[in-house]
């Protein structure tokens, strides 16, 4: 992962843990893979070669036109945009293949879904979502 993505992951893991503890949970009440979910939720971005400008453009396209339409763009830039926007699915596949905890795999897959679509415990996942800040 790039240095900014690693810093982001560390910040999310740290803040999510803090939010859970402030809410009265103990570390032993958190599922295995909780901290790793914060650290690695965006790991699928390693498959995209977009730089900062490309990432911003991909995000704006996804917001403006919808993720699925932005993913259908053709050409080299289009395929990098598609890979970037699919980082949730790609990351979940990488984590699954490397034997990560199921919580870590599922959060990578679900972290851009609306809360209503989460399969994970919503309270626990909400700490990660709030810490992610997007
Ligand atoms: Fe993400
Ligand atoms: Fe993130």
pLDDT in tens, 33-51: 999 999 999 999 999 988 8
Give the pair of three-digit tokens for residue 40. Answer: 């690695």
C-alpha 104/C-alpha 124 separation (Å) is 12
Residue 41: per-residue pLDDT: 98
Residue 28 alpha carbon to ligand 2 centre in Å = 24
Residue 73: per-residue pLDDT: 75
Residue 88 alpha carbon to ligand 2 centre in Å = 10
Residue 98: per-residue pLDDT: 98
Residue 19: per-residue pLDDT: 98
Residue 21: per-residue pLDDT: 98
Residue 108 alpha carbon to ligand 1 centre in Å = 8
Residue 67: per-residue pLDDT: 82
Residue 129 alpha carbon to ligand 1 centre in Å = 10
**How many domains does the structure of the chain reveal?**
1
Residue 77: per-residue pLDDT: 72
Residue 106 alpha carbon to ligand 2 centre in Å = 14
Low-confidence ranges of the chain (pLDDT < 50): none
Range of the domain at 42: 3-132
Where residue 91 falls (left for φ over 0; alpha for ψ -120 to 50; beta otherwise) is alpha
Residue 87: per-residue pLDDT: 95
Residue 29 alpha carbon to ligand 2 centre in Å = 23
Give the pair of three-digit tokens for residue 63. Answer: 């917001």
Residue 78 alpha carbon to ligand 1 centre in Å = 18
User: How many residues does this entry show for the chain?
Assistant: 134
Residue 40: per-residue pLDDT: 98
Residue 119: per-residue pLDDT: 96
Closest ligand by atom to 59 CA: 1
Q: Say what the pTM is.
A: 0.90
């Amino acid at each position: 992962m790039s240095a900014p993505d690693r810093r982001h992951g560390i910040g999310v893991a740290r803040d999510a843990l803090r939010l859970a503890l402030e809410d009265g949970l103990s570390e032993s009440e958190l599922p295995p893979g909780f901290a790793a979910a914060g650290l690695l939720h965006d790991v699928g971005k390693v498959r995209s070669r977009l730089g900062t400008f490309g990432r911003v453009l991909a995000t704006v396209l996804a917001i403006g036109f919808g993720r699925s339409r932005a993913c259908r763009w053709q050409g080299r830039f289009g395929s990098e945009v598609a890979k970037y926007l699919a980082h949730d699915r790609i990351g979940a596949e990488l984590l699954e293949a490397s034997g990560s905890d199921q919580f870590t795999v599922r959060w990578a897959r679900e972290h851009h879904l609306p809360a209503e679509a989460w399969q994970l415990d919503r309270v626990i996942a909400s700490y990660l979502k709030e810490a992610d800040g997007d």
